Structure 1
Amino acid sequence: MASPGAVLLSEWTKIKTVRSTVVTLLSAFVVTVGLGAVICLVTNAQWNSMSDHDKLTFDATNTSFSGIFLGQLAVIVFAVLVVGNEYSSGMIRVTLAAVPQRATLLLAKTAVLIALVLPVALVTAFTTFFLGQALLGSHGVSLGDRNVLRAVIGMALYMTLIAVLSLGVGFMLRKPVLSLGLLMPFFFLISPILTAVPKVKTVARYFPDSAGRRMSEVVLSNDIPYGPYAAIFVCLAWAAACLLGGYVLFKRRDA
């Protein structure tokens, strides 16, 4: 029976030495920071042409995070590959022979995933914020302004929870293509469409991407019926549900 410490060390070694780990997490940083910077630059240039209403409701912090919902694509890919690569290569059989305790293995993978994603997410969120505010010029805000720090940390938490959610889906579906084939349409097609459909948008407002948007807001919009702190629990519930579903199937199925 492998000790939890040994399992953690093994998972840490496996994940951090895979090339896709560096590539995908670096992509998340570059895309999020880069797209956010472009949007802030364009917003500042077009400020005088904006309506009075848009100026009054302008959320400088949320604007700087405009690229994070594209940057999460890389985080989703990373999390799916953490488990999907082992199934695709057949290494999962070796892993389970060494660590037959499936709950221990799943928790170890989750812990290592969080240990890798959270620091990257924090660096990404703070870099995106500071660069975005600099490009917004006089229309920007400072980190010490009310609720700004909460929004910045909220975005880092969102990225991390999306990674955990995706890991759970990876355990459920096992194959990277199937997992990405479910997650990508959900975040980039199904959720945005349902949010705009009157009869179902109430439910869609509780999807994780809607909660993530609420977490990044300082000037709260009226289309989401809960606050930023409740949004954290919405994302946490999604991540926990997917991870639990992954564990149930992981425990019942053969490698």
Structure 2
Amino acid sequence: MTAVQVIRSEWTKIRSVASTMWTLSLAVVVTTALGMLVSGLSRSQFGSMPARQRLSFDPVFVSFAGMTLGQLALIVFGVLVVSNEYSTGMIRVSLAAVPQRATFLFSKIAVATALALAAGMVTGFAAFFLGQAMLGPHGVQLGDPGVLRAVLGGGLYMTLIAMFSMGVAVMLRSPMLSLGILMPFFFLISNVLGNVDATKKIGQFLPDQAGSRIMRVVPRVGDAAPYGPWGGLGIMALWVIAALVGGYVLLARRDAQ
């Protein structure tokens, strides 16, 4: 099969599984809705905020408050895209039809990444505009310094989360094991390492901690990270590359099962 045929095949497989498409839709809805809620609450409480908190108030980042739950849906999407074939046994058929494992894997990754990018960009712009509407006079405009970068970065962040999850799922092959590692990593371990003084220097180089800086326009008070927004996204991209390369190496060396 040619690369184009493999890509078409992967597109058919992904869209035929309802759960994968629903997770993308859920990412958009959850991120946008929660961002609106937090933006509305921030507007009502802005007058009573301490001076220190006002100095680091970031209206763009506030509108992305739902990203924490939104990325959960992207993690599930990334895992399902890859591991569904392992859990059903269809991986044997797929690799028999496409024995070139690099073509098989990266065609799947390319299709899923395109879908995640589309969902991420829709989410980024929707969360921003609706969040700023809820913030009212405390909001900003898309043309303000750093704002467009942050909004586009939100979409790229969600895409990289999905890609990282795909790489991990290829290595582990099991959806339960993949989710069992990724969920605690992003929602527990990363937060602990990033917020405890003794481990902050390590935590700031984790994929989500580094990547999320791209969505900030106003730096946090006391933030001493040795990289900027694009540098943080670059660190996250390195994690993604490592996960995908690791997935490919293992896929190329072991039998389908």
How do 1:1-255 residues align onto structure 2 when only pairs under 5 Å count? Answer: 2-221=1-220, 222-255=223-256
Distance in 1, matches of 2:225 and 2:128, equals 23
Kept in 1: contact 2:40–2:135 (CA 8 A): yes
Please tell me whether the aligned partners of residues 167 and 247 of structure 2 are also in contact (alpha carbons under 8 angstroms). Answer: yes
Write the deviation string for residues 164-194 of structure 1: whole angstroms up to 9, x where unpaired. Answer: 1000001000000000000000000001011
Aligned-residue offset at 1:201: 1.6
Query: Shift in Å at residue 246 of structure 1?
Result: 0.4
> Partners in 2 of 1:57 and 1:97 — Cα distance?
55
- Once the two structures are TM-superposed, the CA of residue 147 in structure 1 deviates from its matched residue by 0.4
State the secondary structure of the residue aligned to 1:46. Answer: helix
Between stretches 242-251 and 204-213, larger displacement belongs to 204-213
Percent sequence identity over aligned pairs: 55
Give 1:5 shift. Answer: 0.7
Q: CA deviation at 1:16?
A: 1.3
Runs of 4+ in 1 over 4 A off after TM superposition: none
2:42 & 2:248 partners in 1: Cα distance? 45
Mapped to 1, the partners of 2:197 and 2:49 lie a distance apart of: 28
Aligned-pair CA distance for 1:223: 4.2
Per-residue deviation, 1:213: 2.1
Amino acid at match of 1:91: M
Any unmatched runs of 5+ in structure 2?
none
What is the CA-CA distance between 1:39 and the residue it aligns to? Answer: 0.3
In 1, Cα distance between equivalents of 2:47 and 2:195: 29
Q: Which amino acid aligns with 1:70?
A: L
Equivalent residues of 1:214, 1:224 under 8 A apart: no
Q: How many angstroms apart in 1 are the aligned matches of 2:156 and 2:178?
A: 22
Gaps of 5+ in 1: none
Asked if the contact 2:211–2:234 (Cα under 8 Å) also holds between the matched residues in 1, the reply is no
Of 216-225 and 28-37, more deviation after overlay is shown by 216-225
The 3 A distance-change label for structure 1 pair 199 and 51 is: closer
Which residue identity does 1:104 align to in structure 2?
T
TM-score of the pair, normalised by structure 1: 0.98
**C-alpha distance in 1 between matches for 2:95 and 2:208:** 33
Q: Residues 192-227 of structure 1, C-alpha deviation per residue, up to 9 Å, x if partnerless?
A: 011123332201101111112211100122143210
CA distance in 1, matches of 2:200, 2:134: 34
